[in-house]
Amino acid sequence: MLPEILVLRHGETEWNAARRMQGGRDSPLTEYGRAQARAMGAMLAGRGITAATHRLLSSPQGRAVETARLAFGVAPEIDPRLREIAMGDWSGLTRAEIDARWPGPQGEHFLDFYARAPRGEGFDALWARCADLLAALDRPTILVTHGMTSRVLRTIATGRGRGDLAALPGGQGVVFRIAHGRHDMLRAPLAPARGEG
């Protein structure tokens, strides 16, 4: 049985706002993204959840580290297994630029889109590193990560399989709590922003 985990996606970044794929690359948080980080931290503090009550782990990518710092007021422990899925040749490009150079089928599912990124990481590798991280957790933990990594972590943590990846909600400005086999979404008092990643 896993300990309680709280999964946060980083706040909105400049590239999220521009609908640009980040993957293994990075861009700064927007002012709205910084406000989202603070709101998530305040919401959790109101529930008695802080970096003093839970281990705080973050992706090494700047947008996640900054979100953790703003939310909890301390530097997080860095775990590279929390980084976002690498998008290969698509990193830094907008969806329109990708569609122009690598057109996919009409109405393509977002998971199929991520899976076909040229020289991308792919879901097998992402699934393996997320499973490895979860297996190593031994106490209540806050995980600050990214859109697709969050989705895979939560799918594994709730005992679901690869076919269930699209079943769980996503979004920024929300915290996902997994405890005793339950998956709950806790919304911070700010409207969610746009985009995955």
d(CA 58, CA 194): 21
Per-residue pLDDT of the chain (197 residues; tens, 9 = 90+): 899 999 999 999 999 999 999 998 999 999 999 999 999 999 999 999 999 999 999 999 999 999 999 999 999 999 999 999 999 999 999 999 999 999 999 999 999 999 999 999 999 999 999 999 999 999 999 999 999 999 999 999 999 999 999 999 998 889 999 998 799 999 887 655 555 44
Q: Is the CB of residue 46 less than 8 Å from the CB of residue 30?
A: no
Q: Map tokens 């998530």 to a residue.
A: 40
Please provide the distance, in angstroms rounded to a whole number, between the alpha carbons at the two ends of the chain: 28
Residue 180 — left, alpha, or beta (φ > 0 → left; ψ -120 to 50 → alpha)?
A: left
Q: How many CA atoms lie within 13 A of 187 on its CB side?
A: 8
pLDDT of residue 194: 53
pLDDT of residue 192: 54
157-170 core/surface letters (b: 16 or more CB in 10 A; e: else): bbeeeeeebeebeb
Sign of CA pseudo-dihedral 88, 80, 156, 147: negative
Active site positions, annotated: 10, 84
The two tokens of residue 18 are 């521009």
pLDDT of residue 166: 92
d(CA 31, CA 35): 6
| The pairing of beta strand 77-78 with beta strand 55-58 | parallel
pLDDT of residue 191: 52
- Confidence (pTM): 0.93
The two tokens of residue 96 are 């329109």
d(CA 106, CA 96): 14
Q: Is the CB of residue 142 less than 8 Å from the CB of residue 54?
A: yes
